[in-house]
Chains A and B, each alone.
Chain A
Amino acid sequence: MATFTEKIRKQFPILHRTVNDNPLVYFDNAATTQKPERVLERLRNYYAQENSNIHRGAHYLSHKATEAYEKARGTFQSFINARHHHEIIFTRGATEAINLVAHSFCKKFLSAGDEILISAMEHHSNIVPWQIACNDHKATLKVIPINEQGELAPNAYEQMLGEKTKLVAITHVSNALGTINPVKEIIAAAHKKNIPVLIDGAQAAPHIPVNVQDLDCDFYCFSGHKMYGPMGAGVLYGKEEWLNQMPPYQSGGEMIKEVRFEETFFNELPYKFEAGTPNVADVLGMEEAVRFIRDTGPDAIARHEDDLLQYATDKLKKTEKVRLIGTATNKTSVLSFLFEDIHPYDAGTLLDKMGIAVRTGHHCAQPVMDFFQIPGTIRVSFAAYNTHEEIDALANALTRVRKMFE
């Protein structure tokens, strides 16, 4: 009988190629995951059999494409358990989703002297849009500190929630450290003061089940390409009451109800936020990726990834002169580390030569690296198809790197 990973690996064509004459070991899943055959096939089939512009054509293919696109919205509604179909907005990815909220929410609700609260472990995508919005509206960006384990500093957060706080934007899972934040508690504390919360779920959605009604978050976003889907499609979930109050982000076709030269009336949700021809093919590919996750079993994937993380952490702890960065109690799928005396960039270069794909550097989270006073880390991140044998290969490769620098 084929093992769990054997069954999965068979579905991913790219995992069977070699890199630098070695079998590919792909450990850069936090940057983007590989895509199963069924996702590739879905894209191909859309363009081969269904391609048409949606919502406006008076013909068969247009109806079919529209139907498929709106059905995909429903798939994502149930994937994160949103209350309404129209609370799912398709975007290019998590970055665009955050930019949308930073633009539209802040335009309506952020005034001079107000504050937006983020954390010290955010990805640049959840820092810069708020920085720009704060600049535009003469507001202040406040940052919740982290501790040496790479967790939010206890007690700091609630004290920072003040009368001036207009929004809290925080990551569900840190891309550089793997820390899972207690977002449910974070949201509850903000709601006590009627402050809405945006959760950046880019690193969470592929690994842990997300239930937006249970979390009670006001906004949640993620990217399809980090969860076995194609690049270029993602989701913004927003509570209807917020989305209805927010002005459009971009304008053009589809987002309008009526256009006169004197005045334009905007369409209703979700179309108000989906200007122009949407990325239908990639949305459908992303939907197929969700089906892949469902068929594989989200709980089984989570268990497998936790097991890999534990196995790799134990191995690395036994490797000489390795310093783990991010040792939170509650972690998932990301292992960041560096050798005390080897630049992460050097180590990454050599690992690549041995066919092992990792990411090195600051992982778009420079403030995190500054906090730990390091130039960057080597980041190993797992997906459903990774194996214990691959971690053994990594450990051996690291020993070889170690020797080269002695």
Chain B
Amino acid sequence: MKTIREKEQLVTNEFDRFDDWMDKYNYLIELGKSLQPIDDTYKTEQFLIKGCQARVWLHADYRDGKVVFSADSDALITKGIVALLIRVLSDQPPQDIIDADMDFIDRIGLREHLSQTRSNGLLNMIRQMKLYALAFQKTKQ
């Protein structure tokens, strides 16, 4: 099983293949399309992440000591971004998720290419994922 660091490196390498930001967005769209659909019962107000211009639903399960995320969004680029986060953070121990500095987002230049609202949305997504990890960590203790 790859660590968060290793997965971050993988994503960074993939993004490095594209010079043009339109290609990077294209890639995000493809990622969005391929994201495992979330169970419809979780597409409710309760699982909605606040502060995103597009709607994003995020759910987390705790299985065998690891947090497994699933998500969906009504906007495809947003869905691609959330797919990216899931790829890096899902299926990891809670403590690792809590400790992840997520600086690959800056390395691939994603943050500077997002509008202010989308950037806030991204931060809210990460915060929510960490909160889930924190909650699972507490129940464990």
Please give the residue numbers on chain A whose beta carbons come within 8 Å of chain B beta carbons, in ascending order.
Answer: 20, 342-343, 345-346, 349-350, 352-354, 360-361, 375-376, 400, 404-405
Contact = CB atoms under 8 A, between A and B. Distances in A.
A342 B75 CA distance: 7
A353 B76 contact: no
A375 B22 contact: no
B76 A405 contact: yes
Given A361-B53, A405-B29, A343 B21 contact: no
Contact of B74 (A349, A361, A375, A405): A375
Q: Which 3 A-B pairs have the closest CB atoms?
A: A343-B75, A346-B77, A346-B75
Interface of B: 21-22, 25-26, 29, 53-55, 74-78, 113, 115, 118
Nearest to A361: B53
Given A352-B115, A405-B29, A345 B22 contact: no
Contacts of A353: 21-22, 25, 113
Contacts of B75: 343, 345-346
B35 to A, nearest CB: 14
Contacts of A345: 53-54, 75, 77-78, 118
B76 A349 contact: no
Nearest to B118: A349
A400 B26 CA distance: 11
A218 to B, nearest CB: 37
B70 to A, nearest CB: 20
18 contacts: A20-B21, A343-B75, A343-B76, A343-B78, A345-B75, A346-B54, A346-B77, A349-B77, A350-B22, A350-B25, A352-B115, A353-B22, A353-B113, A354-B22, A375-B55, A404-B29, A405-B29, A405-B76
A20 B54 CA distance: 23
Given A353-B22, A375-B54, A343 B29 contact: no
A400 B55 CA distance: 24
B99 to A, nearest CB: 31
Contact of B78 (A346, A350, A400): A346
Contacts of A346: 29, 54, 75-78
A353 B78 CA distance: 16
Given A342-B76, A343-B77, A349-B118, 8 more contacts: A343-B76, A343-B78, A345-B75, A345-B77, A350-B77, A354-B22, A376-B53, A404-B29
